[in-house]
Amino acid sequence: MLIYRFLTGEDDASFCHKVTKALSEGWQLHGSPTYAYDAVAKKMKCGQAVTRVARDQPYDPNKKLVDF
């Protein structure tokens, strides 16, 4: 089963650390990152999709994606 997550955050080092942590846990980048201006917060926001294969596990919507 292919698991999908979309990581988001402010355009700062903590977002890069979030993506790096996901990669170190076996997630792979999926597509290009996104970058948009949040007019309410007056800050740039980033997003990056990541995927990972979870073998021999049925999908459970009550389970956190990081626990697959």
Express each pLDDT in 12-57 by its tens digit.
999 999 999 999 999 999 999 999 999 999 999 999 999 999 888 8
The predicted model scores a pTM of 0.83
**What band does 65 get if pLDDT is binned at 50, 70 and 90?**
confident
pLDDT of residue 57: 83
Q: What one-letter code names the amino acid at 42? A: K
Distance CA 3, CA 52 (A): 5
DSSP state of 57: -
Structure tokens at 60: 């459970």
Which spans in the chain are helix H? 13-24
By CB atoms closer than 10 A (0-12, 13-18, 19+), residue 68 is middle
Domain range summary for the chain, segments of one domain joined by +: 2-55
